[in-house]
Amino acid sequence: MAQMTESFRYLKTFDEIGINDVALVGGKNASLGEMVRELTPLGVRVPGGFAVTAEGFRAFIDGAGLRPKLETLLDGIDKGNLDDFARRGRALRETVYAAPLPDDLAAEISAAYARLEEEYGAHTDVAVRSSATAEDLPSASFAGQHDTFLNIHSAGQLLDAVKRCFASLFTDRAISYRIDQGFPHLKVALSVGVQKMVRADLASSGVIFTLDTESGFRDVVFLTAAYGLGENVVQGTIDPDEFYVHKPTFEAGHRCVLRRVRGAKQLKMVYAEGRSRQAVRNVPTSDAEAARFCLSDDEVLELAEAAIKIERHYSKVAGVDRPMDIEWAKDGQSGALYITQARPETVISQRRHDVYQTYVLKARGPVLARGRAVGARIGAGKVRIVRSVAELQSVAPGDVLVADNTTPDWEPVMKTAAAIVTNRGGRTCHAAIVARELGIPAVVGAEGATERLPEGREVTVSCAEGDEGVVYDGVCDFAVEELDLTSLERPATHVMINLGNPELAFRTSFVPNDGVGLARLEFIISESIRAHPLALLQPERIEDAAVRKEIEGLTRGYASGADYFVEKLSEGVGTIGAAFWPKPVIVRMSDFKTNEYRSLLGGAPFEEEEPNPMIGFRGAARYTHPKYEAGFALECAAMRRVRADMGLRNVKLMIPFCRRVEEGRRVLDRMAEHGLRRGEDELEIYVMCEIPNNVVSIDAFSEIFDGFSIGSNDLTQLVLGVDRDSEVVAFDYDERDPGVLETIKLAVEGARRNGRHSGICGQAPSDYPEIAEFLVRVGIDSISLTPDTVIPTTHAILALEKTLGRTPRGTGAGW
């Protein structure tokens, strides 16, 4: 839109304003202007439009003589008196809306809209958004406090929408916000942004954060998407699709989506038709729409690139890293992707990561509901179900607020809740955003929670167990552990982490570490893929119709079962690799036993029943065997995608339960055939040292592998001849046995003799501090631990190393 002429006193086009004009047009409009001026030349599409300035708002208030009446209504307002608070808010809004716009302001708005019609056609559809500011508080943020109106398509509708935006300065939530922040009510003004609508009603829209919204991890772009206009995603009324892109490898040229989660996308907001008084309406999505992602990978990557450019620009302007909260929309007519809003993210990015705080659930009751976890905290209280604004008064401080979904009007009460549970919504919905800001746990998208959680029942809401949030019956015991990491030294012995759950990867990366010593494929296969790999390749061999149908449901939307397996596995491993990038992440190829493979969906036709699966058809023996080689090919394809397509070359691979050197050679040859050649593209391949022959023949194994990771669980089993699955002889299973320790010592010495890396990833050093001490004394290169034992074991290692005269490698949180 061309710049306004000098005759316009109260309006500015977006290309006339920038980030320094917050006092004039509010943060939202100033940001739009900044993007139009600075980022459009870089290829970021931003719809044009204009802003009614704060000066125009003040001319309206003063011209209509509203200030004395507003001051009277605001005098002594108390949000603790809910009835009076609501009455005054309603009177304030009615007073503002009833007043006429000044003739000159109305004329300017109408003329500016006419110019938009000249550019885009008659009855151009626009979005009308509030953008608050303050006379002497230009840095204040009023995000989410005021109203927006969509699909406005005439000058008359626009003038009415502007007045409604002006009146929204006095919504209950906005008044409450100003009281909490200590802002004088009438020093705040309202600018109004008028922006050409993007026809997302015919396509999709959503929100982008340039960091992970749960952990604060900075190296990803997190994008949500749903069909239709974006208000459903912003307000959390639906469960959107989610996508992650890893910024460092993306900027290095690897154009690949790191991870995606398909949401239900229950509704889509579209333009209302006919003579409806509503400009927009919600309609159900079809089963076919819900079953597929609403964006292609190329579109996700285009949006990620725009988000990275926006973050880079705003960080440069601010002089500090500035994670961003961005709204986007796809035009269903042109197919083009637009950025419709951008603002600095001001909650998650402010968290301190030099203090490591963990919530630990020590007991669990029966599970009442499950959904998506927001935050990593735990809260407990009485269930209070709220189905309408009128019922908010029933919520007492410390209650667990349970609702279908929440809206900004609920915020005064949400601030007093111990936790929040909603039937609907994704991790960027209103309830999630408020919960993060307040530092309380929330479980969103917990379908049916308002029906399953009994009113008044005491429950525990846990978001400390991964991506899934759980509501337990009763008050469960939990603890909060806190540690200042700024002075934690880095020991000479590398301290790594055992991790199998990708959902915990970003959060766990803040634990001081030297990378991941063991990433297990088994967790990803059993939890995310769920089906036996051969069942995905050969579903015709499955006789059980119900199982076949379930597999068809899992793979719906994928070209084949193979594509489903490769994508899911690579995304799980890639998430762990990205979380710890560029530190090494050692990924162990699958090590299910036959009984565990049989328990996977569709596994029975492909697995025999073995009398002792612990020493049966497992590990390396499977990889080149006709009974499983096709499954191993899928694993290799997934790992190749992680390293080649995603660019995560910090991922090393490891072969488990390799009985003989010749067996190792066969596996390496097969991996090379599948595009994973040792030494090519920096690929290192380790072997588990968990069979006595690995130790006895360590010189020969060193010729074909790059390193050894001692599996203390199996090594103990085979040195002592104790089946660790047998309860009858469990009393004789002890990793501290002198024979086991001597075997470990020989392994470490053998690896050092051959110039190979030695590490341990078994459970022993996590369970027994004396074993960690023993490993340090014999000079092991790395010790990999469960996340909860990293900090205390690191302290113990540092203390021991000082007695041995070893110098720490440095200090600092995260290492």
Over the stretch 471-498, which tens digit does the pLDDT of each residue have? 999 999 999 887 778 888 999 999 999 9
Contacts of 697 (CB under 8 A, 6+ apart): 661
CA distances from 540 to 315, 544, 559 (A): 55, 10, 16
Query: Strand (E) positions, 500-580?
Result: 516-520
- Nearest alpha-carbon partner for 815 in 483, 652, 580, 482: 580
Predicted TM-score (pTM) of this structure? 0.85
Q: What is the pLDDT of residues 353-369, one digit of tens each?
A: 778 778 889 999 999 99
- CA dist 283 to 229, 266, 327, Å? 11, 9, 21
| CA 571 – CA 350 distance, rounded (Å) | 28
313-326 per-position pLDDT tens digit: 999 999 999 999 99
Instruction: State the catalytic residue, choosing from 430, 494, 532, 757.
Output: 430
Token pair of 278 as six digits: 């509503």
For 62, residues 6+ apart whose C-beta sits below 8 A from its C-beta are none
User: Does 192 score more than 60 pLDDT?
Assistant: yes
d(CA 766, CA 787) in angstroms, rounded, equals 9
Instruction: Return the amino acid letter for 645.
Output: D
Question: Taken in order 489, 495, 501, 506, is the CA torsion positive or negative?
Answer: positive
Structure confidence at residue 560 (pLDDT): 96
pLDDT in tens, 616-662: 999 999 999 999 999 999 999 999 999 999 999 999 999 999 999 99
Q: Which listed residue (294, 429, 689, 761) is catalytic?
A: 761
- pLDDT computed for residue 139 by the predictor: 47
Check: CB of residue 622 under 8 Å from CB of residue 616.
no
CA dist 236 → 142, 377, 444 (Å): 19, 21, 9
Residue 135 pLDDT grade (very low, low, confident, very high; cuts 50, 70, 90): very low
Strands 324-330, 337-344: pairing is: antiparallel
> What does the CA dihedral 388, 394, 396, 401 come to, rounded to 10 degrees?
-30
Q: What is the mean pLDDT of the chain?
A: 92
Instruction: Give, to the nearest 10 degrees, the angle between helix 297-318 and helix 22-34.
Output: 140
345 Cβ contact list (under 8 Å, min separation 6): 209, 210, 211, 323, 324, 325
Give me 424's structure tokens. Answer: 């609907």
Tokens encoding 76? 């002594």
pLDDT band for position 46 (50/70/90)?
very high
Q: Hey, which residues does 520 pair with through a beta bridge? A: 588
How remote is the C-alpha of 603 from its chain's centroid? 32
**Residue whose entry in the numeric block shows the structure tokens 């061309």:** 2
Task: Identify whether 761 is a catalytic site residue.
Answer: yes
Contacting residues for 257 by C-beta, under 8 A, at least 6 apart? 243, 244, 245, 297, 300, 301, 571
CB atoms within 10 A of CB 251: 12
The Cα–Cα gap between 271 and 280 comes to: 4
Range name among 116-125, 281-290, 455-464, 720-729 with the lowest pLDDT average: 720-729
In the residue annotation, 153 being an active-site residue is answered as: no
For 213-251, the pLDDT digits (tens) are: 989 999 999 999 999 999 888 877 899 999 999 999 999
